[in-house]
Amino acid sequence: MKAYERFLKYAKMYTTSDERSGTHPSSSIQFDLAHCLVDELKNMGISAECDEYCYVYATIPATEGCENVPAIGFIAHMDTSPDFCGENVSPRIIENYDGEDVELGEGRVLKRADFPHLAELKGRTLIVTDGKTLLGADDKAGIAEIMTFADTLIKNKLPHGKICIAFTPDEEIGEGADHFDVKRFGADFAYTADGDVEGGIEYENFNAAGATFEINGFNIHPGSAKDKMVNASLIAMEINSLLPADEIPSKTEGYEGFFHLTDMEGCVERATIRYIIRDHSAESFAKRCELARQIEKQINEAYGEGTVVLTLKEQYRNMEEKIRPCFHVVETAKRAILAAGLEPIIKPIRGGTDGARLSFEGLPCPNLGTGGYAFHGPYEHITVEGMDKAVEILLGIVRLYQE
């Protein structure tokens, strides 16, 4: 079975995470995919299990003569982003894609004007959404590629050291490493298959935090409100105005950090606004978090103590400092990509992966491309050929370490 065939199956399974649930996993529906993967792995003859937190762990012992080869891990996440609908996903396959605009449905069009790389995908088999949901290539493509890699390894009796596989829940809400058992996993180092274009390697990522401002107002009849009413929704707007207007996702790129307003709700009496804070530089990241604290202080000084309560939660850190001392993980991936006939694409992640946190827990873990594009929305797409190359790269990494 090819990687895309597995992907089509996984994509239809509803696994959206829920950052407000307070449970682990954040949504019980993720167990459906976890149990499916455990069954598939066992059918391949691979030892696998799912724990109480919805983490799937599997191990392929080293082949004879390769017992001293480093134990390599491969990781992908099962949940899809809560940013857009992930239920009732209905992927559509376009064979011999012509490189032009694609009518998706719901009035949405996958346009070359918005995604210039589409011209380079001409002639490939393109997988798109029906315009109603995201596709789930982030990161069910990574899962499908790891599963196909493992199946190929077993069926072809390829020589290899110990292979460790894990599929995690809740990566999309920054909790994918919360209950990851590094010791149980058993790898010396690992790769997450959670990037975009095939041939990509990422070992620098944002430092990340979530910031929630809870605002308490005072409601009274507007006719008698002078010097009494405190409008929580207006204060929410004031808080946003105190953040730098140009430091938002739509106006930044590369190594530039940002404040991103993700959602807001409120009325006169109460309001809540939520942000994610991102920066590659640890120093700049600390300054951003401090600005949020200063805004809380400023608003409380103006309207009274307790008007605003800020909750800051660190989500992950830039893994570069943990990757540099064992840079062979990046160099080997580059060699595997070149051997697959591609040019390595190395760039910083404007986001994060499970590997960012795992690198700080003693498991160096750069990120590899899966062949997907435009994640987290209805314009998400991927190619069959890109997925095949991603599998080839995983096999190449194992071959190079075995040699």
How far is it, in rounded angstroms, from Cα 111 to Cα 298? 45
Q: What is the pLDDT of residues 77-129, one digit of tens each?
A: 999 999 999 999 999 999 999 999 999 999 999 999 999 999 999 999 999 99
Query: What amino acid occupies position 202?
Result: E
Section 59-68 average pLDDT? 97
Q: What is the Cα gyration radius of the chain?
A: 23
Q: Which of 139, 170, 171, 198 is catalytic?
A: 171
Predicted confidence (pLDDT) at residue 41 exceeds the cutoff of 90: yes
Give pLDDT, residue 375: 96
Per DSSP, the three-state class of 55 is: coil
Ranges of CATH 3.30.70.360 domains, the chain = 207-316
**Strand 92-94's sheet: what is its strand order?**
92-94, 126-128, 381-383, 372-373
Q: What is the pLDDT of residues 345-360, one digit of tens each?
A: 999 988 778 898 999 9
pLDDT range class, residue 63, cuts 50, 70, 90: very high
Q: What is the pLDDT of residues 193-224, one digit of tens each?
A: 999 999 999 999 999 999 999 999 999 999 99
Section 129-136 average pLDDT? 98
The residues, any chain, with a CB within 8 Å of residue 36's CB and separated by 6 or more, are: 10, 13
Section 132-152 average pLDDT? 98
Share the mean pLDDT of the chain. 96
How far is it, in rounded angstroms, from Cα 226 to Cα 220? 10
Which residue in the block uniquely carries the two structure tokens 């590629």? 145
Confirm if 281 and 255 have CB atoms less than 8 A apart: yes
Query: What amino acid occupies position 339?
Result: A
Q: Is 87 known to be catalytic? A: no
pLDDT range class, residue 30, cuts 50, 70, 90: very high
Q: Which of 79, 202, 204, 392 is catalytic?
A: 79
How far is it, in rounded angstroms, from Cα 120 to Cα 170? 33
Phi-psi region for residue 254, left (φ > 0), alpha (ψ -120 to 50) or beta? left
Query: What amino acid occupies position 353?
Result: T
DSSP, res 124: S
pLDDT range class, residue 383, cuts 50, 70, 90: very high
Alpha-carbon 30 to chain mean position? 15
Looking at domain 207-316, its CATH class is alpha beta
How far is it, in rounded angstroms, from Cα 80 to Cα 277? 21
pLDDT range class, residue 174, cuts 50, 70, 90: confident
Q: What is the largest distance, in Å, between two alpha-carbon atoms of the chain?
A: 85
Which tokens belong to 321?
Answer: 């400092």
Give pLDDT, residue 308: 98
How many other C-beta atoms are found inside a 10 Å radius of the C-beta of residue 228? 10
Listed residue (146, 150, 107) closest to 130, CA to CA: 107
How many other C-beta atoms are found inside a 10 Å radius of the C-beta of residue 94? 16
How many other C-beta atoms are found inside a 10 Å radius of the C-beta of residue 342? 19
Enter the pTM of the model: 0.86
CA atoms within 13 A on the CB side of 304: 10
How far is it, in rounded angstroms, from Cα 45 to Cα 91? 30
Give pLDDT, residue 149: 98
Distances (CA, A) of 113 to 100, 105, 180: 10, 18, 41
Section 135-143 average pLDDT? 98
Residue 286 main-chain phi, psi, to 5 deg: -60, -40
Give pLDDT, residue 77: 98
Ranges of CATH 3.40.630.10 domains, the chain = 3-205+318-402
Alpha helices by DSSP H, listed for 12-160, are: 30-43, 137-155
Tally: H helices and E strands in the chain: 10, 18
Section 384-403 average pLDDT? 97
What CATH number belongs to 3-205+318-402?
A: 3.40.630.10
Section 367-372 average pLDDT? 97
Which residue in the block uniquely carries the two structure tokens 């608003």? 299
DSSP string, 162-226: -EEEEEES-GGGT-TTTT--HHHH--SEEEEEEESSTTEEE----EEEEEEEEEE-B---GGG-T
Per DSSP, the three-state class of 60 is: strand
Confirm if 144 and 390 have CB atoms less than 8 A apart: no
Query: What amino acid occupies position 233?
Result: S
Give pLDDT, residue 352: 76
Element spanning 274, H or E: strand 270-279
Q: Is 171 known to be catalytic? A: yes
